Amino acid sequence: MTARRVLAMVCAAAFAALSPTHPASAEVTASSSTPAFDSALGSAAASVIGSRLGALMGVETASLAGLSRDRIRRLGAPFSSRDADGRVMNAAELDRMGRARGNAQWRCLTEAIYFEARGESIEGQYAVAEVILNRVDHANYPRTICAVVNEGTGRRNACQFSYTCDGIPEVVTDQRAWNRAGHIARIMMEGAPRDLTRQATHYHADWVSPNWARVYPRTARYGQHIFYRQQYR
């Protein structure tokens, strides 16, 4: 008798045991042993199923064995907490992730992180990403990352992010910092929690004092950047 035949028969027996017409259907409970598997046929089928499951689990185990501890940690609990998920990783951890890449929206976010905050701490770079994504979700701003980043570009005193209108060409000169920014952008775009800036929509360097900074509540500070949430009192 083939394994497929045995499996089909045991499934049929199990279905019959659960059928409303079966006299013992009202007594069915979840346990490690059921009447359907007490016969020789049930034992044979259980052995076949067990061996098949064991083989499948062996494949999964082998595939996980090839992954690094950091990668398994990110797969197992990608955004559960700041200590466990590796979301705010240090520079060495980000560097081990290799080359970063993505679509046009990813590139806009990566550019903003790189040109606005590559000299800041890793947390400071995450914080800039939070502001941009918070604006995307806010009714007062455009609905895409690129539109938020480039809002006001080309109009005098209208740029929302200074690097888009400072007259300096956007040339990437530090590939390692670019890759770090790219990985941060990807992590944030994939749904990491935005819990560093308390829903901030604005920030400024600590050597300037824009008018809105006297109106909006201050929410956080990372390095030279001070963060605020748009709110009218």
For residue 142, is it within any domain? yes
The verdict on 110 and 185 lying in the same domain is yes
**For residue range 182-219, what is the model confidence (pLDDT) as tens digits?**
999 999 999 999 999 999 999 999 999 999 999 999 99
Domain assignment present for residue 215? The answer is no
- How many domains is the chain built from? 2
Assess whether 84 and 189 both reside in one domain: yes
Structural domain containing residue 43? 1-20+39-66
CB 135 within 8 A of CB 207: no
Helix, strand, coil shares of the chain, percent, nearest 5, are 50, 5, 45
User: 157 lies in a domain?
Assistant: yes
Residue 8 phi/psi, 5° resolution?
A: -65, -40
Looking at the fold, whether 99 and 188 belong to one and the same domain comes out as yes
DSSP-derived secondary structure letter, 191: T
Same domain for 113 and 189, yes or no, is: yes
Same domain? For 44 and 88 the reply is no
Residues 156 and 173 in one domain: yes
The region of weakest confidence among 21-30, 47-56, 66-75, 154-163 is: 21-30
For the full predicted model, state whether its pTM sits above 0.85: no
Residue 92 located in a structural domain: yes
Name every residue whose Cβ is closer than 8 Å to that of residue 130 and which is 6 or more positions away in sequence: 188, 194, 196, 197, 200
Q: Are residues 60 and 85 in the same domain?
A: no
pLDDT digits (tens, 9 = 90+) for 52-81: 545 544 544 444 444 444 444 444 334 433
Domain boundary among 160, 175, 193: 193
Q: Judge if 3 and 82 occupy the same domain.
A: no
85, 62: one domain: no
Helix (H) or strand (E) holding 220: strand 218-222
User: Are 83 and 11 found together in one domain?
Assistant: no
Q: Are residues 149 and 180 in the same domain?
A: yes
pLDDT of 32 > 50? The answer is no
What pLDDT shows up at residue 52?
56
85 and 189 housed in the same domain? yes
CB count within 10 Å of CB 232 equals 5
pLDDT of residue 98: 83
